[in-house]
Amino acid sequence: MDTIFAIVVEPLVRRQIFVTEEQAARELVRDYVLRQVTSSQRAVARFERKYGMHFERFGEYLHERSTLLETSPLEPDQRQALGQAVMREEDDWLDWKAAQEMLDSWLGVRREVTA
C-alpha cells in the first residue's frame, strides 16, 4: 500500500473509525466527492438566483443583450452603460459555465464511486 495512504488511513483503522483501509478509502473519497458536488451546486444556484434563470437561458439572454448593444440606436451614455453591463454578465457567464462544468464532472465522479 502507498506510504502516504497508509499514513493517512492507518490511524483511522487503528482507532476503529473504519473497519478496513479499503472501507476508509471508499468513504473518505465518497465524502470528498459529495462535498465537491454540494459546493458546485451552490455556485450554480447562486447564479440561477442572481439572474432568475438556468444557464442555457442565460446564454440566450446574453446573446440578445449583445445583439441589442450592436444593433439598437442608443445614446453614447446608454451604449456605454449597456456595454459595461454586458461585460459583467459575460464574466458571470464564464464563471457560471465553469461552475456548471465542474458540477457535471463531479456528478460523473459521484456515479463512479457510488456504483
- What is the rounded CA–CA span in Å between residue 115 and residue 112? 5
Match 462535498 to its residue by C-alpha cell: 35
What is the per-residue pLDDT for 2?
67
**pLDDT of 22:** 86
Encode pLDDT of 89-101 as tens digits: 999 999 999 999 9
Could you read off the pLDDT of 34-81 as tens digits, one per residue?
999 999 999 999 999 999 999 999 999 999 999 988 898 989 999 999
Cβ neighbour number for residue 64 with a 10 Å cutoff: 10
**Separation between Cα atoms, residue 76 and residue 49, nearest integer Å:** 31
What is the reported pLDDT for 109?
Answer: 96
Per-residue pLDDT, averaged over 30-37, amounts to 95
At a CB cut-off of 8 Å and minimum separation 6, what does 97 contact? 55
User: Residue 46: enclosing H or E segment and its boundaries?
Assistant: helix 21-51
* pTM (2 d.p.): 0.81
